[in-house]
Structure 1
């Protein structure tokens, strides 16, 4: 099985920016790999002057938000550390090699690695986004804060362009459209475990285990 892998450019983000940045990236990938009819929904980021498109599917939004919260919890347990999240698309194949077996296997055909270098700031849960941005650059001039925000925005735009370039260039490996209804190929969003060295192998093992596809109904 030909599996294409895209390592997205590492982004420098503050902890309060994680949710917006991951939503932007994950939904952009899912939109460009969507099946059939979708209800595109434009989303304006609050922290950056960027607009991205979601598929307009409530269940997909819920699943992505759940994984992002899981990722944020993982980052909080291991502060000041580079973090990675993986989005894998796979195909379901019946294993006919084993007699009297109904086992199926997940064959990964595409993986996206999102790489974040998270800087942790003091708790600002009750403050506005603008206040958080100012706090994240405490001790710096307003011009310096503005430059940091612009630099982050440019980097995020580069990642979005990287996604678009990849989906336009890499098409031959995409499997036939599944017979089941849904807006997406089967997929899994994987969060790194506490042991980063085993993250890749653990993820591969899980993807090869038998089970039912994770499809949206």
Structure 2
């Protein structure tokens, strides 16, 4: 089985926005790819106006499953925050990969040995830049406008990612196996040209002062 790989648009977020944004993205994908019929529960984002995302509605039969999913999502986000890499004076970068897989048992040595194989059939990749630049806190008009600009930019980027998730999910599901399957979320880091540029700038020697 070939693994389908999806690369979502890059996000740039303030530190306080990361956890909720990642929850919105991960829970949306997990709901869309949940095996079997489930009911949605809409969650309103507290830090992003007019943005909601679906989660699996809690029921007595699904309470244990939901607890396990919540625990794994929270742990993956915590691991992501702990493994961020410095790419600039106020910038950190990291990535998450959400993988779906099924377990298959294979027989070897004329059926005398049984092995279990994990077959990954879909992966979702997301790269996040965390901007630690302090926000303006004064009440003057320039500070208010700047705070709103930062907020609108983050909301627009998150909205674009969620729209992309729905676009990808609606194209084809032929690769989704008709059996029960599992998921895992891993931190990933892929150096690209942007990170190389930040690294070069950060590690440049001090410029010589020619004014003296």
TM-score range, shorter chain: 0.7 to 0.9
Residues 96 and 126, structure 2, Cα contact 8 Å, conserved in 1: yes
Q: 1:186 aligns with which of 171, 174, 182?
A: 182
Q: Secondary structure at the match of 1:27?
A: helix
Change beyond 3 A, Cα 1:105–1:137: farther
How many residues get paired? 175
Larger radius of gyration: 2
Match of 2:24 in 1: 24
Mark the runs of 5 or more structure 2 residues left unpaired by the alignment. Answer: 58-65, 192-212
Query: 1:141: how far off?
Result: 2.2
Match of 1:51 in 2: 52
Residues 14 and 136, structure 1, Cα contact 8 Å, conserved in 2: no
Mark the runs of 5 or more structure 1 residues left unpaired by the alignment. Answer: 122-134, 179-184, 198-217
Verify: 1:113 aligned to 2:135, yes or no.
no
- 1:50-129 correspondence runs (5 A): 50-56=51-57, 57-75=66-84, 78=86, 80-99=91-110, 100-121=112-133
Please tell me the root mean square deviation across aligned C-alpha atoms, in Å: 2.1
CA distance in 2, matches of 1:69, 1:21: 13
CA distance in 1, matches of 2:9, 2:137: 26
CA distance in 2, matches of 1:102, 1:78: 45
**TM-score after normalising by structure 1:** 0.73
Match of 2:196 in 1: none
Match of 1:210 in 2: none
**TM-score after normalising by structure 2:** 0.75
Match of 2:152 in 1: 150
